[in-house]
Amino acid sequence: MKLLVTGGAGYVGSVCAARLVESGHEVVVLDDLSTGHADAVPDGVRLVEAGIDDAIGGVLAEGFDGVLHFAAKSLVGESMQDPAKYWQGNVVTSLRLLDAMREHGTPRLVFSSTAATYGEPEQVPIAETAPTRPTNTYGATKLAIDHAITSYAAAHGLAAVSLRYFNVAGAYGRFGERHGVETHLIPIVLQVASGRRDRVQVYGDDWPTDDGTCIRDYIHVVDLADAHLRALEHATAGEHRIYNLGNGLGFSVKQVIDACREVTGHPIPADVAPRRAGDPAVLVASSEKARAELGWKPERVDLAGIVRDAWDFTRSQQGA
Identify the active-site residue in 138, 172, 218, 243. Answer: 138
Nearest to 125 by CA among 217, 206, 210, 214: 217
Task: Work out how close the CB of 117 gets to ligand UFG at its nearest, in angstroms, rounded to a whole number.
Answer: 8
Q: At what angle do helices 185-193 and 253-264 cross, to 10 degrees?
A: 40
Which of 89-97, 113-121, 239-247, 306-314 is the region at the interface with ligand UFG (rule: CB under 6 A)? Answer: 113-121
Task: Work out how close the CB of 210 gets to ligand UFG at its nearest, in angstroms, rounded to a whole number.
Answer: 14
Q: Which of 79, 94, 106, 167 binds ligand UFG (CB under 6 A)?
A: 167
Which of 47-55, 145-153, 184-192, 226-234 is the region at the interface with ligand UFG (rule: CB under 6 A)? Answer: 184-192
Told to check if 216 binds ligand UFG by CB under 6 A, we report yes
Nearer to ligand UFG, 123 or 183 (CB): 183
Catalytic (active site) residue 138: yes
Task: Work out how close the CB of 143 gets to ligand UFG at its nearest, in angstroms, rounded to a whole number.
Answer: 11
128 contacts: CB under 8 Å, gap ≥ 6: 164, 242, 243, 244, 289
C-alpha angle 251/253/255, rounded to 5°? 60
x/- map, 71-110, ligand UFG, by CB under 6 A: ---x-x----------------------------------
Nearer to ligand UFG, 2 or 276 (CB): 276
Told to check if 212 binds ligand UFG by CB under 6 A, we report no
x/- map, 264-303, ligand UFG, by CB under 6 A: ------------x--x---x--------------------
Q: What is the sign of the dihedral through the CA atoms of 57, 58, 61 and 63?
A: negative
Nearest to 28 by CA among 51, 73, 60, 57: 60
Task: Work out how close the CB of 114 gets to ligand UFG at its nearest, in angstroms, rounded to a whole number.
Answer: 5
Task: Work out how close the CB of 283 gets to ligand UFG at its nearest, in angstroms, rounded to a whole number.
Answer: 5
- What type of residue is 251? F
Residue with CB nearest ligand UFG?
214
x/- map, 189-208, ligand UFG, by CB under 6 A: -----------xxxx-----
Told to check if 115 binds ligand UFG by CB under 6 A, we report yes
- First and final C-alpha spacing in the chain: 38
Task: State the residues that interact with ligand UFG by CB under 6 A.
Answer: 74, 76, 114-116, 138-139, 167, 183-185, 188, 200-203, 214, 216, 253, 276, 279, 283
Residues that are catalytic: 138
